[in-house]
Chain A
Amino acid sequence: MNIQQRMIRFITKSNWYIFCVITLLAFINTPKPFALGILCGGLIVTLNFHALEHTLKRTFKNSSQIVAAGDSILRSVIFKYYIRFILSGVMLFLLISRNIVDPLGLIAGLSVVVASFFAATTLELTRLIIKEAV
């Protein structure tokens, strides 16, 4: 397994782990709107990431088609991105405008995917440094 595949497997799993741990801790330690913000933000961004993964894997599965239809592939991926972005935007709008969640909790929840990227990069870097040292 190469470094990219290892990273993506780690990120896909750690997304859910980080999301569950942070949400649990938030519901135990923080006020309800803040914990709800983390729950909603984490759910939105994790589902978004999985939808993006699904789109890209389906689009680039048949690499021979890319040569023939490069431009239409670009348009379809960007179109799906805008649909996802509008859906997330509407959800965030409803959550913030109706004061259902604490905005700071929402920002913390939205950082779940970034946190798992950071963790994956740190892990790979550590592995690389240890490998070179040995």
Chain B
Amino acid sequence: MEFFTACVWAAGLAIGIAALGCGLGQGMGLSGAVQGIARNPESSGKVTVTLLIGLAMIESLCIYALVVALILIYAHPQAAEFAKMAIGH
């Protein structure tokens, strides 16, 4: 039972920390881009493209963390073995 509790804790922490980091990173990147375009509106095209690549990279990290968290809860490779052990005891 402790194993499953630990899995849920790990999944919650994983997605929580990842979302916090990605949110901060995206917010900082976007804020920098908006400031840059406000100071130099002609650079809008270049900044937008660079920002797009940066944001997509950050977003994919958060999606990876979400997948790992979901795997920990719903598709853990050793869940069946631990469940058998728990029933045996």
**Chain A interfacial positions (CB closer than 8 Å to B):** 2, 4-5, 7-8, 11, 44-45, 48-49, 52-53, 56-57, 60, 63-64, 66-67, 70, 73-74, 77-78, 81, 85, 88-89, 92-93, 96-97, 99, 103, 106-107, 110-111, 113-114, 117
Cβ contact of A110, chosen from B26, B38, B67, cutoff 8 A: B67
Q: Do A70 and B34 form a contact, CB below 8 Å, given A63-B44, A96-B74, A114-B60?
A: yes
Contacts of B49 on A, CB cut-off 8 Å?
4-5, 7-8
Contacts of B37 on A, CB cut-off 8 Å?
60, 63, 66
Instruction: With both chains docked as a complex, state the minimum distance between the C-beta of A36 and any C-beta of chain B, in angstroms.
Output: 14
- Taking the complex as formed, is B10 at the interface, i.e. its CB lies under 8 A from any CB of chain A? no
**Chain B interfacial positions (CB closer than 8 Å to A):** 23, 26-27, 30-31, 33-35, 37-38, 41-42, 44-53, 55-57, 59-60, 62-64, 66-67, 70-71, 73-75
B38/A66 in contact, CB under 8 A: yes
B62/A78 in contact, CB under 8 A: no
Instruction: With both chains docked as a complex, state the minimum distance between the C-beta of A126 and any C-beta of chain B, in angstroms.
Output: 18
Q: Do A117 and B67 form a contact, CB below 8 Å, given A60-B44, A63-B41?
A: no
Contacts of B30 on A, CB cut-off 8 Å?
74, 77-78
